[in-house]
């Protein structure tokens, strides 16, 4: 890619990963530029970091949207471009066994918020959407509207654990409490599941008897600040290739996985 990669970032909080990405762009470590920073939380500290670098910001207040729909469910309709049957088939964030009301409330509230998010993103055409501590699951409604080219995902996430271990909202906490001797972080593409998408990069650190949850978080975060820019730059260089791989298992069954291959630099 000769032109600079146009990067959109979504955050929920303090934005230290965002800062690392902005700095890496400015230092030429990523052949790209952050063109917007959006948040589900209007108070996110990271929005100020973006403003300091003169990057466009916006927010969609998920908490107030969810609260409003809870209090007044009749008033909330899916956006007109939703295909509900397809959404129900594709979504895997809530078990299909959960009660219908719960599934519908989750999908309706998230899709309404996501439609607003997409609207706010519209003025800023981007090549890659980076989730940097964005603490909301994205539904297939949003994902399909960003990933328009089949086989070329373009939403990246960083997760504070060595996936597929410890998906969810507290990766370092789960790692520490489990008594793991190694912790780490993972950069992956988003798919329809929670933290299940194909893995791009991982870094690990040792956990010793002297470590506390705080030191584990600190060690992990420092690795995040290096691995996320590295993975984004691989994307900018066109070196991430999605591949479907089928493996024969000992029990004569087969397993097929979608993985990321990292191409050699040319």
Least separation in angstroms between residue 76's CB and ligand GAR is: 26
Catalytic member of 108, 136, 154, 159? 159
The gap between the terminal CA atoms of the chain, to the nearest Å, is 12
For residues 12 and 136, is the Cβ–Cβ distance under 8 A? yes
Least separation in angstroms between residue 161's CB and ligand GAR is: 8
Pick between residue 32 and residue 46 the one whose CB is nearest to ligand GAR: 46
For residues 188 and 199, is the Cβ–Cβ distance under 8 A? yes
Query: By C-alpha distance, which of 61, 111, 91 is closest to 196?
Result: 91
Interface with ligand GAR in residues 26-55 (CB under 6 A)? 46
Pick between residue 3 and residue 48 the one whose CB is nearest to ligand GAR: 48
The pairing of strands 32-39 and 254-262 is unpaired
Number of residues that bind ligand GAR (CB under 6 A): 18
Interface with ligand GAR in residues 188-227 (CB under 6 A)? 221, 224
Interface with ligand GAR in residues 107-166 (CB under 6 A)? 132-133, 135, 158-160
Q: Is the peptide bond before 164 cis (omega within 30 degrees of 0)?
A: yes
Is there a catalytic annotation at residue 53? no
Rounded to 10 deg, the angle between the 213-236 and 171-178 helix axes is 130
The contact set with ligand GAR (CB under 6 A) reads: 11, 13-17, 46, 132-133, 135, 158-160, 169, 171, 185, 221, 224
């Amino acid at each position: 890619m000769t032109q600079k990669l146009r990067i959109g970032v979504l955050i929920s909080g303090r934005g230290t990963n965002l800062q690392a990405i902005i700095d890496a762009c400015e230092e030429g470590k990523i052949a790209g530029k952050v063109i917007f920073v959006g948040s589900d939380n209007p108070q996110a500290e990271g929005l100020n970091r973006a403003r300091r670098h003169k990057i466009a910001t916006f927010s969609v207040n998920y908490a107030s949207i969810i609260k409003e729909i809870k209090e007044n469910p009749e008033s909330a309709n899916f956006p007109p471009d939703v295909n509900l049957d397809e959404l129900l088939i594709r979504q895997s964030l809530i078990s299909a066994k959960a009660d219908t009301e719960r599934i519908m409330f989750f999908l309706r509230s998230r899709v309404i918020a996501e439609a607003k998010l997409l609207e706010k993103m519209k003025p800023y055409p981007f090549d890659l959407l980076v989730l940097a501590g964005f603490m909301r699951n994205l539904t297939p409604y949003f994902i399909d509207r960003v990933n328009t080219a089949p086989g070329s995902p373009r939403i990246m996430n960083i997760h504070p654990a060595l996936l597929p271990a410890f998906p969810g909202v507290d990766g370092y906490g789960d790692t520490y409490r489990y008594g793991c001797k190694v912790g780490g972080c993972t950069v992956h593409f988003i798919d329809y599941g929670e933290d299940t998408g194909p893995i791009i990069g991982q870094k690990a650190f040792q956990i010793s008897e002297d470590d506390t949850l705080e030191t584990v978080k600190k060690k992990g975060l420092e690795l995040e600040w290096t691995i996320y820019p590295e993975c984004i730059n691989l994307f900018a260089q066109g070196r991430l290739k999605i591949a479907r791989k089928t493996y024969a298992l000992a029990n004569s069954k087969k397993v097929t996985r979608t993985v990321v291959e990292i191409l050699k630099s040319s």
